[in-house]
Structure 1
């Protein structure tokens, strides 16, 4: 008596178990919170690490140029290393010297500050403000406190030497690895083309951003320094250097670079000179940084103005002052690791990009493909 086979109905089989989309979102948010908290806790390590990475990316074309012309690998590595060391040590040395000069200049403006405070006290009294409230408010404006703050800042800058050794060691190791980065990326491109595209897009965008910011920073520094020199504001070279550095801070860098020379102009020549400094700075920086530069920066990094500003706030909160300087490159790195690395998530570029490419329009898909191929072959 043979057994009869009864097929199992697939209709009664339970559906495969899947994670609800809402739970996936919650898990992603929780992982983000943990990652951000860890980054804040390790900001003293991560900030110098990212700075070394950005500097290495900036000088990597020197090694590529040397290799293409048959120059020995070690010679190209030493040339790139010498360039990045010169940039880093030159900026730090100029800052230390400038802050020291400012600390010695400020005490001579004590009488000017007292006269300004007396004038402000008289005007507020005429306006009917209580004398006790005026005295408590103006007593906090002490030039000695500002000089003490600058002394602490100078000591803090000298303390950067400890991190500087770490950064210079990182630059040395990254320069050594950079001599073989081309072969490494070709291997990654063969095995994981999406990862290769994401990393190449990050390197290319970062390098273009650094070039654009450096060029426009030099232009702004020259114009600001010359204007301050013509107006008779003390230490114009210091404020020009400050304008150059704050140009790497998106959106609010101009304001940060304006405040110190405006205050010194107030102490040197009164409110009239301060107003002239504000007007001249506003005209120069508005034309260059608000009209001309954003067009080039947007084309270079592919981030909208809103995303750029939010990245500044976020990375300043996570990594401190150095995070403000590196806000755009760090955002490009996160974008590469979370968005560009997967074709299914690249639609986000349409929401955060400066001028997204519509691949449905004729010719745009081919242009996007050619751009991807160029990035893989030469990230610069």
Structure 2
């Protein structure tokens, strides 16, 4: 009788963890290359239905490349323009409201003194507050994304190459689905479908939130409502904390422009809009498209933001879906892991 010995489970976990750390460290080291390539991949997946529709209409071969490429370039240049405008506007606003902020600090000190809590430590803390620091943080986030888009030539070349290879790549996957690795091909197809559904739903409801946010900011007379609406749309792709990032600039401007009352109204408006649209309505349309639990979504944000910076935060969900497809969904024995990260019991499993 043959004595088959397998590695201890703990050792396997440690080896897998070490491999993941080394892989992520390698990706971070070449993030300036990997980031644009992954962004190009997500953009190509987003416009893939257009290519499929053209192919079903028997459109000329050159349109299967030109039309998706044009759409991707339009998206790229649009994002670059918005981010450039955001950085410029936030840099200008940081120096415009210094006097108003000083007046608010004095008012806060007087109010604290009337309540009998005007200690020296509180006064010192109020004096150290600087709106410029908040704007610098937001400008740094936008500048980080803009730095990725500065490699525009690389992104365009990669997108063009993917558009040219899309047809042959699809043919290879179709042939391998029947003879080679059907489970891997199925996992990659599921990744593409889930990513597109996530992008479509997030974009649609992000636009709804952005329009409502712009309307609320316009009523409250907060400066640059259109800019903050676009920022709300972009940050909608950042899970968990995107809402807070998009709220900070208009809330701060509301405080400087109209005082604490406007600040509270801006926060209340954003919270109501976010709760109704993104917490009550959006999940019904998104359903189980993401396939990640709340905990895994948050961990994905932390990991990919650490590895790829601001771009990793924006692409956290698609990158986690790709990782799941390659490591879990393609593995016949990975059902338990898929159930673990999705927070749902496997089909046919016992509760």
TM-score between both structures, scaled by the size of structure 2: 0.90
Change (3 A) 1:189 1:160: closer
Q: SS of 1:323's equivalent?
A: helix
Q: How does 1:149-188 map to 2 (within 5 A)?
A: 159-160=147-148, 162-188=150-176
User: How far off its partner does 1:147 sit?
Assistant: 6.5
User: How far off its partner does 1:154 sit?
Assistant: 7.4
Aligned match of 2:245: 256
Q: Is the 8 A contact 2:145 2:310 kept in 1?
A: no
Distance 1:150 1:15 in 2: 61
1:72 paired to 2:60: yes
User: How far off its partner does 1:338 sit?
Assistant: 0.9
Runs of 4+ more than 6 Å apart: 147-155
Change (3 A) 1:155 1:255: closer
User: How far off its partner does 1:141 sit?
Assistant: 2.5
Q: Is the 8 A contact 2:35 2:148 kept in 1?
A: no
Change (3 A) 1:179 1:73: farther
Distance 1:319 1:297 in 2: 26
Which shifted more, 84-93 or 342-351?
342-351
- Select 2:16's aligned residue among 28, 43, 62: 28
- Select 2:259's aligned residue among 270, 293, 296: 270
Aligned match of 1:140: 128
Aligned match of 1:337: 326
User: How far off its partner does 1:46 sit?
Assistant: 2.1
Aligned match of 1:328: 317
Aligned match of 1:313: 302
User: How far off its partner does 1:145 sit?
Assistant: 5.4
Distance 1:302 1:67 in 2: 30
User: How far off its partner does 1:111 sit?
Assistant: 2.2
Q: How does 1:38-77 map to 2 (within 5 A)?
A: 38-77=26-65
Aligned match of 1:86: 74
Count, aligned residues = 348
1:283 paired to 2:283: no
Change (3 A) 1:231 1:286: same
User: How far off its partner does 1:182 sit?
Assistant: 2.2
1:221 paired to 2:210: yes
User: How far off its partner does 1:313 sit?
Assistant: 1.9
Change (3 A) 1:16 1:159: closer
Q: Is the 8 A contact 1:239 1:261 kept in 2?
A: yes
User: How far off its partner does 1:233 sit?
Assistant: 0.7
1:189 paired to 2:182: no
- Select 1:246's aligned residue among 232, 235, 239: 235
Distance 1:209 1:339 in 2: 19
User: How far off its partner does 1:155 sit?
Assistant: 6.5
Q: Is the 8 A contact 2:212 2:273 kept in 1?
A: yes
Distance 1:28 1:109 in 2: 51
User: How far off its partner does 1:28 sit?
Assistant: 1.6
- Select 2:91's aligned residue among 100, 103, 108: 103
CA RMSD of aligned residues (A): 2.4
Aligned match of 2:100: 112
Q: Is the 8 A contact 2:141 2:310 kept in 1?
A: no
Q: Is the 8 A contact 1:107 1:147 kept in 2?
A: no
User: How far off its partner does 1:296 sit?
Assistant: 2.8
Which shifted more, 205-214 or 183-192?
183-192
Distance 2:140 2:198 in 1: 33
